[in-house]
Structure 1
Amino acid sequence: MLLKKIKNLPNSPGCYLFKNQNNVIIYIGKSKNLKKRIENYFSPKEKNKKTNLLISEINNLSYILTNNELEALILESNLIKKYTPKYNFKLIDDKTYPYIEITNEKHPRLKISRYKKLPPNKNIFGPFPNQKEILKQIINILYQIYPLRKCHPLEKKPCFYYHIKQCIGPCCQKKVNYQENINAIVNFFKGKNYQIFKKIKKKMLLASDNLEFEKADKYKNILINLKKILEKQFIDLKKNKNYDIIAFDSNQNEISIYILQMNNGNILDKDQIVFTYVSSVTSNILTYLNFYYQKKIIPKEIIVGQELKKEKNNIRKLLNIKVCIPTKNVKFKLYQLALKNAQENLLKYNLIYQSKYQIIQNNLIKLSEIVEKEINYIEIFDNAHLFGQSFVSSMIVFKNFKFEKKKYIKFLLNKKIKNDFEAFRNIIQKRYKKILKTTKILPDLILVDGGLAQFNTALKILKKMNVNIKLGALKKNKKHQLESLILNKKEIFLDKKSELFKFLSKLSKEVHNFTIKFHQKTKKKEDFNTLLLKIKGLGKIRYKKILEKFNNITEIKQASCEEFKKLKIPCNILEKIKKILKK
């Protein structure tokens, strides 16, 4: 069926959506020729690990035609945001850049603001990516040299800062040199730093002449700190040219992208990412840049290398921006610097990844030798309770060399369950009875958090269900630390310094922490429900109405009297509930 679909695909631009056996979208891509691109996935040509893994899961596909490749790129971006497929790289975060702003008030203040797009007619300076602490230092220094007001709104009488001479008091003095201070600050951000240095030196010498050495020392420190800060020049972006330099390096599995942000000839900041990819390198870079500049400020110009020559027009149209490929001069040298960093990041990533991958692979090989079966996919179970009450259980998954958190499961158990054995019987039966009804792959190994008794309980239920999966138990000591591994009803003591012991301890901690968090949340909800039923005037019918209307405790906290009246519940009941929540 899938091969027939591929044969009938059009030679047109568009987006394709790969789906797994459950019809879940697992990857979204784009191409100027859908048929050629998709046929390429299923050709005998050698592919990277991620692509091979993707192909093994493809069960179906659909596609959307577009007029051109650019439209396909924009559509791809929207579809990835909507469906968040697991094989597409993670999207860039939504944070904006911080700026220093001089407010448009009668007596302006300094403040840190965040913008995606700069508003018109405002004194805004920056951006200052990843420099929040430096911004605070700058504002603090400027307030010490130019004592502007800090209060918002403007006080009607002198405040604390006025009395300690850190504000010139526009609230109580009609004639103050306020605008002079503002002009000096604007000049400072435009790079005219001599005025502020002159003023600080003057204050320092005056304090020294008056034998106020502590004060003189304070100004000396301000001078030193300001010089350090000004090692990076601050630019008014609305008036100075700015551009980004984009370089990348790639291997068969990963792409490293490095972006230098330039302002007025200075390196303002950098962004870097390394990610595994599917499809072509340039296609992934275009997709990344599209996401990147949806969240960042688009400069006037982008510098790229010869490798993106064919995509130059696509980038220009997509971002409505000038794209330059330098071959000499300063921009070329800066591009080479960005490229060197991209190459270095890829090398570091591979060394770190290979090291981690190798350790996990070795652990799985050793575990496979002990279990006498190749292990790649493990499911681990644990229970939690409070003195035999409020039992909950959970299951975590370790597969393809990592924890697959999206596949973790929480089990709410029957209140009649009073011990570990009943809990394990219940959850193992639930889990594998459900899997056996589907075509889902069974794990290579099941681990239960417990000793021999828990192992035997799980083994009996698996045999009863005719489930032939290797089983083990992670036995802990009194300090709740891993002590041994139980396999084939035998206890195996591992060297506590060995990597395998550390790996099994990590599995044990992960399932324990996940279960405890779930138990705490459940217990909190149970306690709240018990307290609710003790409120006079809140019977079971009203209690049921509250639970049907509100999804969680936060919603009840934020509930209004009107909402309770609609449920035909008096407002005094809401007040009593909120008092309980405060406790």
Structure 2
Amino acid sequence: MSRNKRRADAVGDALLAISSVKKTKVENKEEALPKLPRPQNVITEEERPDSVENIHPFLKEKLETLPSCPGVYLMRDERHRVIYVGKSACLKNRVRSYFHSKNLTEKTRWMVSLVRNFDIITVNTEMEALILENVLIKKHRPYFNILFRDDKSYPYLELTTFEKYPRLRIVRSNGKLRGTCFGPYAGEAMSVKRTKSTVQKLFKLRPCQEKLDKKRERPCLYYHINLCTAPCTGYVSAQEYTSQVEKAAKFLSGHTSKLAAQLRQEIAEQAALLNYEECAKLRDTLQSLEILDQKQQILLQSDLDEDYISLAYDQGRSICAAVVRQVREGKLQGQQNFVLEVRLDNQHEADLADFIQRYYSENGRPPALIAVETEPSNKELLQTWLSEMAKRKVKFEQPQRGEKKQILLGTKENAKRFLDDELHAPSQRELRQEALSELKDALNLPHTPWRMECYDISNIQGKFSVGSMVVFEHGLPHRSHYRKFKIKGMDEPNDFAMMSQVLERRLSHLCQNKRNLQDNNTDNLAKEDVSLDSTPDLIIVDGGLGQLGAAQAILEKLGLDKSIALAGLAKRQEEIFLPGRQTSILLPLNSKAYNLVTHLRNEAHRFAITFHRNLRGKGMLHSVLADIPGLGPKYIKLLRTHFTDLAALN
């Protein structure tokens, strides 16, 4: 993620926070639940039916053909959104129980009443179903599954072990990373930076981002200020650098005692070889490590790695705080706090199992022992899955007395305290909800615009013309749904026509797939695109009445003008124009809605101009020789080498 992107997100959230006032504690969270929808999978109070007695005829037929094997099921609503993902050892019994059982809780009946279709994916074993369920929950973020509140992406430290000379970097997600991850660091962002800085000073891993394909003649500044051993110049061998990486990994894993013992052994070996300079370096590292080690609280007289997990609920059981205490080699390594939103009336054991599955799938290798208050559901299956992930045996334990019981009780108290703090202070999610509600009222929209799309055009006198589509869901940028468009067939500057082309290409894809789905004509579906297949609640175009008119014409042409709200945002005075309205709307400068729409527009502008600059840069380097049919890169290089200038070539 670039610095500009991070800055844009930070500014947006900061502006929302500045304009907020501290909320009073909500006494009954159960009543507030329908007002806390997730991005893209939003269920409003108006959509909640009173009963689930009438099963859709289409579903009755599908229920009769369910297989009796392990698998995963995805519940979908009338807008084809995934609202729940679950797994089962027997799909037939599990899925049918939702529609035939009379003992469903109120929230589960609510979820089932919204189901209009479901998909199943069969697998060979229950373990495969568990893994697939976790992948699908992270992909679709269903409304009724337990998910982390506030949509935070917690920072991790990643050792890029896939590189010849690994480096340590801060990342925001470990789902698609190939290296070894440590974290998440759920506290202040500065804590992960301090940890990275400490590792850098102790073990001198290279901080640069160079590929190191070729050997450099001399080292960079990091070597001269003693923060790198300069593998780029060969000052350190690959074997020696690997040792540095292994020591850093032990430190980050909390195995400081083992690392200290290794350093003492290396000091003795180097002293026997009379290599006193290397001894001094190892001694300094050991001393720094011992100083850090003294600051850690000793909880257990044990060298085992353990995690202590506790959950605490609010009065309505709609909000849950989860606390994980990490004890490594008997010392408290850290504590991580999470707030979860509970959609269904599950038992404590089921919520605990869901959290453990989600936490360790993102956190990486689990410890040998996980201490909990009650056994999670599917305990044996979870232990098998965690053991395979850790490549050693992992077990759950319920401490009844002694030191471990005291640590678990302390974890429980911290969970209650953290939950109380969260209930008294407005979360970033609640601030964004206020912004969306303000925008809904200001624009007189029929419902809250959970998915907003903003479009902008960028060009220079009609050259290198591009369009951008930026998506905000629940008030947050959804970058995987951003799309770029190259303007086709236009060499003259015409922002109105370009805006029309971009919107027509984007919305035609949506309309085509909707018609094919209604006709059950799956063979003619356009290429699957999660972003383009999603229906926006509000489209904002960057510009005034001209751009708004062009966009309105496209919506009317495709028959979407009644289902998708439209607005234009002019830059000069940040005026908002609506179709059929003569006067513009000026949002208060200190309002959350103003900060939200300007953040959305600025993000669309940034995305468009970045794409335009990239195209323009490539165009400047484009050779006319490349346009000659049959002339490849090798022959172009030979021609440039042989002919000194363009005149000689002609």
TM-score by length of 2: 0.57
Alignment partner for residue 532 of structure 1, among 623, 628, 631?
Answer: 623
Q: Distance in 2 between matches of 1:229 and 1:6?
A: 59
- The structure, 1 or 2, with the larger RCO (C-alpha pairs under 8 Å, 6+ apart) is 2
Of residues 238, 243, 252, the one that matches 2:306 is 243
Distance 1:402 1:513 in 2: 16
Match of 1:482 among 574, 586, 589: 574
Q: Is the 8 A contact 1:395 1:511 kept in 2?
A: yes
Cα gap change, 1:430/1:115 in structure 2, threshold over 3 Å: closer, same or farther? closer
Contact 1:155–1:171 (Cα < 8 Å) also in 2: no
Does 2:394 align with 1:341? Answer: no
In structure 2, the CA distance between the partners of 1:310 and 1:283, relative to structure 1 (3 Å rule), is: closer
Look up the match of 1:561.
none
State yes or no: 1:517 paired with 2:581: no
- Alpha carbons 1:482, 1:508 under 8 Å: kept: no
> In structure 2, do the counterparts of structure 1 residues 182 and 310 end up closer, same or farther at CA, with 3 Å as the change threshold?
same
Checking the alignment, whether the CA contact within 8 Å between 2:306 and 2:326 is kept in structure 1 is: yes
Paired amino acid for 1:541: P
Over residues 331-383 of structure 1, what are the superposed CA-to-partner deviations in whole Å (9 max), with x where a residue is unaligned? Answer: 11111222233344445556666564355346435534543643424432221
Shift of 1:420: 1.0
Q: Which residue matches 1:418?
A: 493
Corresponding residue of 1:47: 107
Rate the CA distance shift 1:542–1:246 in 2: closer, same or farther, 3 A.
Answer: farther
Distance, in Å, in 1 between the alignment partners of 2:136 and 2:448 is 35
Alignment-derived partner of residue 55 in structure 2:
none
8 Å contact from structure 1 (residues 28, 85) kept in 2: no
Partner deviation per Cα, 1:318-343 (whole Å, 9 max, x = no partner): 42324321122211111122223334
CA distance in 2, matches of 1:358, 1:184: 51
What do the CA deviations read for 1:283-323 (whole angstroms, capped 9, x no partner)?
564455456556644433221112x2655444444423243
What SS does the aligned partner of 1:381 have? strand
Deviation at 1:261, TM superposition (A): 1.9
Paired residue secondary structure (2:454): strand
The alignment partner of 2:309 has SS state of strand
Matching residue of 1:552: none
Distance (whole Å) between structure 2 residues aligned to residue 466 and residue 179 of structure 1: 75
Measure, in 1, the Cα distance between the counterparts of 2:436 and 2:82: 32
Structure 2 residues without counterparts, runs of 5 or longer: 1-57, 162-166, 170-177, 182-191, 205-225, 238-266, 388-392, 515-532, 643-650
Ranges in structure 1 where 5+ consecutive residues have no aligned partner: 100-110, 118-127, 141-146, 157-167, 189-195, 197-221, 547-563, 577-583
Residues 509/575 of structure 1: CA separation in 2 closer, same or farther (3 Å cut): farther
Residues in 1 aligned to 2:429 and 2:493: alpha-carbon distance in whole angstroms: 41
* Cα deviation 1:83-124 (Å, max 9, x = unaligned): 95312669998856899xxxxxxxxxxx9999969xxxxxxx
SS of the counterpart of 2:106?
coil
Deviations 1:156-184 (A, max 9, x none): 9xxxxxxxxxxx9x999974568987997
Larger radius of gyration: 1
Aligned residue for 1:321?
Answer: 394
Q: Which residue of 1 aligns with 2:95?
A: 38
Q: Verify: 1:502 aligned to 2:619, yes or no.
A: no
Equivalent residue of 1:526, what SS? helix
Task: Give the secondary-structure state (helix, strand or coil) at the position aligned to 1:6.
Answer: helix
Aligned partner of 2:106: which letter? E
* Contact 2:437 2:448 (C-alpha < 8 Å) held by counterparts: yes
Q: Percent identity?
A: 19
Matching residue of 1:77: 131
Let me know the Cα RMSD of the aligned residues.
Answer: 5.1
How far the C-alpha of 1:76 sits from its partner, in A, is 2.6
Partners of 1:92 and 1:292 within 8 A in 2: no
Q: Find the residue that maps to 1:232 and give its secondary structure.
A: coil
**Partner of residue 372, structure 2:** 304
CA contact (8 A) 2:158 2:168 kept: no
Instruction: Check 1:79–1:574 CA distance in 2 against 1; reply closer, same or farther (3 A cut).
Output: farther
Q: Return the letter of the residue paired with 2:367.
A: P
C-alpha separation in 1, matches of 2:82 and 2:447: 29
Is 1:541 the counterpart of 2:621? The answer is no
Cα distance between partner residues in 1 of 2:377 and 2:558:
59
Which of the numbers 352, 371, 386 marks the counterpart of 2:460? 386
Deviation at 1:411, TM superposition (A): 2.1
Q: Please, what TM-score do these two structures have when normalized by structure 1? A: 0.63
Query: Equivalent residue of 1:131, what SS?
Result: helix
* Contact 1:393–1:413, Cα closer than 8 Å, also in 2: yes
Secondary structure of the equivalent of 2:107?
coil
Gap change, CA 1:504 and 1:515, over 3 Å in 2:
same
